[in-house]
Amino acid sequence: MGSHLPTMVRVLPRPGFVDGRGLEFPGLTTELNRVLARGHRVVVCELSGMAMSGSDVGALFAPVGGLLAAWPGSVVVVCSTDRGVRQELDALPAVYRLVVCARLEEGVTLAYARLRLPDHAELSLGAALTAPRRAREFVTRTMLDWRLSVLIAPACLVVSELVTNVVLYAGTPAAVSLSRLDGVVLVTVGDRGRAASGLWPSSVVEKWRAGHRSRLVQAFTLGSGEFAVLGEGKTVWAVLGGAPDVLPGVTRQIHGSESRRSAVVG
């Protein structure tokens, strides 16, 4: 029913587990996406016994690589008893900051030693045309509370774009979250999109995906992406940091973008 009051919470570092033992590569990719879509700060992948080539390893962690490179508040642990797999993992870009180990207990210990808890706020929104406006109000209040007024304009742009896509193309409630660490902010918008279940035409699915990562969102973020699971919807993320030289342009883009959409959503 409409929207709920935003809650300010301290993120609990509850791990998400991806057990790759006995899974084929496509199933492993699905499980990793499912865990990442749930927003776990620590993700533990058990890959022991899996035969994986270098290309498999790269393809598996490519979706999370962008997030780890831009956002310092998440840690991914990968455990494998296969020395060759560990070598392939070690060869991935250092910005991924993967914790690679042979034993699960060792990896989890290292992950929690590296983990730092961000400030966090979240908001639940109903599937209403006023959802984008409520999301922008939530972002503005949170950025002011965090003394990050310089990010109000780009953060409002990103959240408004993503929530508008949920309203127009998924037609479901939206979950908005903001996390702050080291001067950067992680924005996530999740939905229960029917598009992910195959009930929408492919042209609509493609339009929905393109909208999530529009050129406006890409232009004013350090990184963005999505984690999708068939039949369970999507979580779209974007990381914003200080970029004072482009912020005046962001404000103009927001005003122009919102005026074009005002006839459809709030």
User: For the segment 159-217, what is each residue's pLDDT rounded down to a tens digit?
Assistant: 999 999 888 888 899 999 999 999 999 999 999 876 544 444 455 555 555 554 567 77
What pLDDT score does 36 carry?
Answer: 82
Q: Which CATH class is domain 119-261?
A: alpha beta
The DSSP result for 148-216, as a single string, is -GGGHHHHHHHHHHHHHHIIIII-S-EEEEEEEETTEEEEEEEE--GGGGT-S-HHHHHHHHHHHT-HH
- CA contacts within 13 A on the Cβ side of 32: 25
Q: Tens of pLDDT along 8-67?
A: 444 446 788 888 877 777 778 788 888 888 888 888 998 887 777 777 888 888 778 888
Give pLDDT tens digits for 109-144.
888 888 888 999 999 999 899 999 999 999 999 999
Tell me how far apart the alpha carbons of residues 230 and 75 are, in angstroms, rounded to a whole number. Answer: 24
Alpha-carbon gap, residue 120 to 59, rounded angstroms: 30
Q: How far, in Å, CA of 189 to CA of 177, rounded?
A: 7
Of 252 and 220, which is predicted with more confidence? 220
> What are the extents of the domains in the chain?
13-114, 119-261
Among the CATH numbers 3.30.1330, 3.30.750, 1.10.1740, 3.30.70, which is that of 13-114? 3.30.750
**What span, in angstroms and rounded, lies between the C-alpha atoms of 247 and 94?**
30
Q: Which residue shows structure tokens 């127009």? A: 168
Longest pairwise C-alpha distance within the chain: 58
Check pLDDT > 90 for residue 154: yes
